[in-house]
Chains A and B, each alone.
Chain A
């Protein structure tokens, strides 16, 4: 299994600002994922982050809005840029180890 932590656990932000969410895994993993969970909804995959290469974004998500870093095999960041109230969601990171996914506790973002 993998233990995943995220920072911050929650934040309230102003429209137009940006927030960077950090994700730390307790072991080296090749693949990390970032998901969005809008209120009352299921999970939507934003992007897959592999170490040493650019993130792969799903349809409807772009790098300018959600830049991702993956500097090593245990860490990744997701930035939510130029935020609007529609970005209010829980953002979850996960790692794939090897045929299962483990999730962090999530970052609850509220944009005013």
Chain B
């Protein structure tokens, strides 16, 4: 079945770049997503990328997709304390209507 994997924890210093990685198994994924969950809140859609793209940039966020290796990453430039949250990678394929979520990466930003 479909599976999405992420490392569970990442710590960075304020001002540094963060890179959160995700791997997935479904080669028919059409869209891949990054969501952010702050403590006590729901999931906020940060960005998504269509599978025929290899990069997407949106202000401080850069998404890189290596479809051959089924690897997705989210880079946050100039990481701030407000970026501390759990980041979920998710994928959607052509035949499923629901998304498959990874376990989430807890990003801690140290002063």
Contact = CB atoms under 8 A, between A and B. Distances in A.
Contact of A106 (B42, B48, B90, B99): B42
B99 A101 contact: yes
Contact of B97 (A41, A43, A48, A100): A48
A105 B101 contact: no
Interface in A2-55: 4, 6, 31, 33, 41-43, 45, 48
Interface in B67-111: 88, 90, 92, 97-99, 101-104
Q: Helix, strand, loop or mixed for chain A's interface?
A: strand
A85 B102 CA distance: 25
Interface residues of A, number: 22
B42 A104 contact: yes
Interface in B2-35: 30-31, 33, 35
A96 B90 CA distance: 14
Contacts, number: 45
Nearest to B40: A108
B104 A33 contact: no
Interface in A79-112: 92, 94, 96, 99-106, 108
Most buried by A among B42, B45, B97, B98: B42
B43 interface: yes
Contacts of A6: 42
Contacts of A103: 35, 42-45
Contact of A100 (B33, B88, B103): B33
Given A99-B92, A100-B33, A43 B101 contact: yes
11 contacts: A33-B98, A43-B43, A43-B88, A99-B48, A100-B31, A100-B33, A100-B48, A101-B33, A102-B45, A103-B45, A105-B41
Interface of B: 30-31, 33, 35, 40-45, 48, 88, 90, 92, 97-99, 101-104
Interface of A: 1, 4, 6, 31, 33, 41-43, 45, 48, 92, 94, 96, 99-106, 108
